[in-house]
């Protein structure tokens, strides 16, 4: 691929994964162009991060639309305006419908703070901690419209230490996310990831 991969990052909160991706681009570890931030919370800290990075944002309030499909139609319009190649979900706390999945299936990825299929959904780190799991980690997967059910691209594990607190585990999981996500995006940039049904092959 001669031109940089053009990505849109979707986020709803602080934007630490957004920042990790932006930092990887600036450091030369990730050869993509972040062309757009999509955010459903106007007051989210990630919006300010995008402004500081000089990255355009599409920020919306879901309640101003009649349905998920309506605001997702607007998102698709914005993605097409920016010629987006890859959608990168990074703490985007909205369920996604076919309006968005269908045109971008195989070109939309998400990061989840557990070793899927264990502990899908909200509060995954806390779920693993309270369950007494000995090992947890992070998963990068394609988005298929289900709750963290898409084909898995990569996983990275860590041991939950004896006496570990939820806060220290959360910090370690986030560090792992910030390492793995830019790495996987670069694999996609280098055309090293192949989706075949539910199987993902990496060269």
List active site positions: 112
Q: How far is CA 133 from CA 113, 119, 177, in A?
A: 13, 10, 19
Widest Cα–Cα separation across the chain:
50
**C-alpha to C-alpha distance for 25 and 45, rounded to whole angstroms:** 20
Handedness of CA 111, 48, 57, 27 (dihedral sign): negative
Given the DSSP bridges, would you call strands 135-142 and 86-89 parallel, antiparallel or unpaired? Answer: unpaired
Which DSSP state fits 134?
S
**Two structure tokens written together for 166:** 């939820």
**Two structure tokens written together for 135:** 């090992």
What stretch of H or E contains 154? strand 152-159
End-to-end CA distance of the chain: 16
Contact present, 137 and 156 (Cβ < 8 Å): yes
């Amino acid at each position: 691929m001669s031109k940089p991969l053009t990505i849109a990052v979707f986020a709803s909160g602080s934007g630490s994964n957004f920042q990790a991706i932006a930092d990887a681009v600036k450091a030369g570890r990730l050869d993509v162009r972040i062309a757009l931030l999509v955010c459903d919370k106007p007051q989210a800290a990630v919006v300010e991060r995008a402004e500081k990075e000089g990255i355009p944002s599409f920020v919306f309030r879901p309640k101003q639309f009649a349905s998920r499909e309506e605001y997702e139609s607007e998102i698709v319009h914005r993605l097409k305006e920016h010629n987006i190649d890859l959608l990168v979900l990074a703490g985007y706390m909205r369920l996604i419908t076919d309006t968005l999945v269908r045109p971008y299936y195989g070109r939309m990825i998400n990061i989840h703070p557990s070793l899927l299929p264990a502990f899908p959904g909200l509060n995954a780190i806390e779920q693993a901690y309270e369950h007494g799991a000995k090992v947890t980690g992070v998963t990068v997967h394609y988005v298929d419209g289900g709750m963290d059910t898409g084909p898995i691209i990569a996983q990275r594990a860590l041991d939950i230490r004896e006496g570990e607190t939820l806060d220290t585990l959360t910090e370690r999981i986030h560090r792992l996310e910030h390492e793995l996500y830019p790495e996987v995006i670069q694999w996609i940039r280098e055309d090293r990831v192949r989706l075949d049904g539910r199987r993902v092959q990496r060269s």
